[in-house]
């Protein structure tokens, strides 16, 4: 069951890199390969030794926290140091890894418009703080490689016509037909920029401050391989490729998921497999499921998967939101049942909330348009917002829901009700059961409510779910009785502690959806080699439900949550879940 490491030896790496570079850069590919090998020789030394003790890619103990570097504030202390203290005090035995969202100097989008890739934002701390976090946890860092800030030195070079940035960006005639380009935003695709050569129009997928980089220029690729190696030297073990689906541009195409983009992902994977085996690559592609899992590289059946180790399970949050607001788990069950069996070395990052909104596009093909509209309207009723994207015909359609996950659990289609905490916790418990590695956003742990003041201050809808907690505010909420913050924090961390001790939750353990009425969702994990298996049963409604499990032998199960033998019951309380284990040998 374990996914073992597969180091890429020097000759194999050279051959794979040559094969990947040839279609990207043609006649220049041999020159690019020589530069790549020199860079790795200079900066990759010692990385393999650092990761050499790890024998497998992951285990049931892998659970990751998602957090901004300044999500926790405490007077004048560096926020990264505050985060490390909080993890040590409150979550020491809960999370194996931590994803610190972009901690570099930035100009917009809360870090995803990077000014300096090799610096830590001094308002957060410095590289010593990052290395300290990496010494205590598996550290995930963002490689923001699709675009860069207008305030970067590269962009200043471009404006002045100086190397290296002069050729780092994509100029485009504004009369070019770009109608086929898939858009994640409703802003203009081309941004006019005044340069010494006059006004030029540059490609900007996400905003006028986030200018796309030109990977057709091999200098850009070499630059980012150097940045990747630098992050590994600072202790990163997991590398998140931000917005990677849009990386390569070719007018006349959709400019998303192009073969060249997949080739760049495979090259970066080859680099880490060569210099630091055990490093994980995860792609961030908020798109329909079939497109999302294309980043495993499963279509090449004659070779093992050689792209991402993990992809985000993007359909899960909106489908789970639909399930718990409608009270029917049939759609979610059908989707789970449709998931392909993944080969060794591939897995999912499961999550309900992140720093971004809840994506709507992954619902395509699973919910009817009127059901999506109903979900959008309900989230607005619960205090959320909707971000739009531009369609090819010029119209706008919902792209993501902006709301905290806790407030998204305020009620059902009938409106708010008293079951918010129970419904919220069930959403987390269900996510924790699924095959893959769970990622928990800090604001799920703290039951954070919509930050409308943050939206007003920043002018950005996503700020609703990016609250910065002052520890002097948060700690009393965690230590006081009868606060949702305390109730959620301790219930969820207890469940996480139980989860990481259960071998049936290994990311590679089999997953089976057990047929039930639509008000229930039952999932089996395992059986393992020793015959051990786990059955998780969830009531997704606000009413007691008959516990109907046709053909299930109800004897011999142990209650993993309460301890001791499980005594079968006739009904399952609203938003209640069971974790039952049994060894059949």
Q: Which residues are known to be catalytic?
A: 242
Q: What six digits make up the tokens of 228?
A: 């990747």
CA distances from 280 to 14, 239, 272, 286, 346 (A): 20, 6, 8, 19, 10
Cβ atoms of residues 130 and 235 within 8 Å: yes
Residue 522's contacts (CB-CB under 8 Å, 6 or more residues apart) are 513, 514, 515, 516, 535, 536, 537, 538, 549
Cβ atoms of residues 537 and 547 within 8 Å: yes
Residue 359's contacts (CB-CB under 8 Å, 6 or more residues apart) are 286, 314, 317, 318, 399, 400
Cα dihedral sign, 466-59-305-340: negative
Q: At what angle do helices 29-43 and 259-275 cross, to 10 degrees?
A: 30
- Can you list the positions of beta strands (E) in 342-406? 347-350, 358-359, 385-390, 396-402
Query: Which is nearest to 56 in space by CA: 350, 311, 345?
Result: 345
Residue showing tokens 């006081």: 480
Residue showing tokens 């299930």: 552
CA distances from 345 to 1, 72, 141, 314 (A): 10, 34, 20, 19
Give strand pairing partners of 259: none
Cβ atoms of residues 361 and 285 within 8 Å: no
Q: CA-CA distance, 564 to 558, in Å (whole number)?
A: 6
Residue 535's contacts (CB-CB under 8 Å, 6 or more residues apart) are 514, 522, 523, 524, 552, 557, 578, 579, 580, 581, 582
Residue by residue, what is the 3-state secondary structure of 558-578? EECCCCCECCCCCEECCCCEE
Cβ atoms of residues 139 and 280 within 8 Å: no
CA distances from 141 to 36, 67, 201, 242, 289 (A): 22, 11, 31, 10, 24
Query: Which is nearest to 576 in space by CA: 542, 546, 550, 539?
Result: 539
Q: CA-CA distance, 120 to 104, in Å (whole number)?
A: 5
Residue showing tokens 């109903």: 374
For residue 377, give the H/E element and its range: helix 369-381
Q: What's the CA dihedral at 253, 254, 259, 265 to 10 degrees?
A: 140
CA distances from 391 to 78, 185, 502 (A): 43, 9, 45
Q: What's the CA dihedral at 515, 518, 521, 524 to 10 degrees?
A: 10
Taking the CB of residue 188, how many other CB atoms lie within 10 A of it? 14
């Amino acid at each position: 069951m374990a996914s073992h490491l597969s180091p890429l030896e020097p000759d194999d790496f050279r051959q794979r890199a040559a094969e990947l570079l040839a279609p990207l850069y043609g006649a220049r590919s041999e020159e690019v390969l020589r530069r790549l090998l020199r860079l790795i020789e200079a900066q990759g030394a010692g990385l393999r030794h650092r990761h050499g003790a790890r024998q497998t890619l992951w285990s049931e103990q892998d659970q990751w926290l998602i957090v901004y570097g300044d999500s926790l504030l405490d007077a004048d202390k560096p926020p990264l140091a505050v985060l490390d203290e909080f993890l040590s005090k409150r979550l020491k035995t809960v999370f194996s890894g931590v994803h610190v969202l972009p901690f570099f100097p930035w100009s917009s989008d809360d870090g995803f418009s990077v000014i300096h890739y090799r610096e830590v934002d001094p308002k957060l701390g410095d590289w010593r703080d990052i290395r300290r976090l990496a010494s205590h946890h598996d550290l995930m860092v963002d490689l923001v490689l699709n675009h860069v800030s207008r305030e970067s030195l590269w962009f200043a070079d471009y404006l002045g016509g100086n190397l290296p940035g002069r050729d780092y960006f994509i100029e485009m005639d504004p009369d070019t037909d770009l109608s086929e380009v898939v858009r994640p935003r409703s802003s203009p695709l081309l941004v006019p920029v005044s340069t010494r050569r006059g006004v030029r129009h540059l490609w900007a997928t996400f905003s006028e401050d986030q200018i796309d980089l030109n990977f057709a220029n091999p200098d850009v690729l070499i630059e980012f391989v150097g940045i990747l190696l630098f992050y590994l030297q600072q202790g990163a073990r997991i590398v998140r490729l931000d917005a990677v689906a849009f990386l390569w541009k070719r007018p006349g195409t959709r400019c998303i998921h192009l073969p060249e983009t997949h080739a760049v992902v495979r090259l970066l994977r080859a680099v880490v497999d060569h210099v630091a085996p055990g490093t994980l690559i995860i792609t961030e592609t908020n798109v329909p499921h079939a497109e999302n899992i294309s980043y495993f590289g499963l279509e090449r059946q004659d070779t093992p998967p050689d792209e991402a180790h993990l992809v985000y399970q993007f359909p899960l949050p909106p489908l789970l939101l639909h399930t718990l607001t409608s009270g029917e788990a049939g759609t979610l069950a059908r989707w789970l049942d449709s998931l392909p069996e993944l080969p060794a070395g591939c897995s999912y990052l499961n999550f309900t909330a992140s720093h971004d909104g809840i994506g709507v596009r992954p619902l395509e093909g699973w919910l009817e348009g009127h059901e999506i509209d109903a979900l959008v309207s309900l989230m607005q009723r619960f205090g959320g917002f909707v971000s739009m994207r531009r369609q090819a015909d010029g119209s706008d359609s919902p792209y993501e829901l902006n709301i905290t996950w806790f407030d998204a659990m305020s009620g059902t289609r009938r409106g708010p009700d008293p079951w918010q905490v129970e419904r919220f916790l069930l959403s987390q418990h269900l996510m924790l059961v699924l095959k893959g590695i769970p990622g928990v956003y800090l604001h799920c742990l703290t039951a954070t409510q919509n930050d409308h003041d943050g939206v007003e201050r920043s002018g950005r809808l996503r700020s609703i779910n990016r609250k910065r907690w002052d520890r002097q505010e948060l700690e009393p909420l965690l230590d006081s009785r009868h606060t949702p913050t305390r109730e959620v924090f301790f219930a969820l961390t207890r469940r996480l502690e139980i989860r990481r001790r259960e071998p049936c939750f290994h990311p590679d353990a089999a997953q089976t959806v057990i047929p039930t009425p639509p008000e229930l969702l039952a999932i089996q994990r395992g059986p393992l080699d020793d015959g051990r298996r786990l059955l998780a049963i969830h009531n997704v409604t606000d009413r007691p439900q008959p516990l109907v499990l046709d053909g299930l032998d109800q004897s011999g199960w142990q209650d993993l949550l309460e301890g001791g033998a499980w005594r079968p019951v006739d009904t399952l309380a609203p938003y209640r879940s069971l974790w039952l284990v049994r060894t059949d040998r």
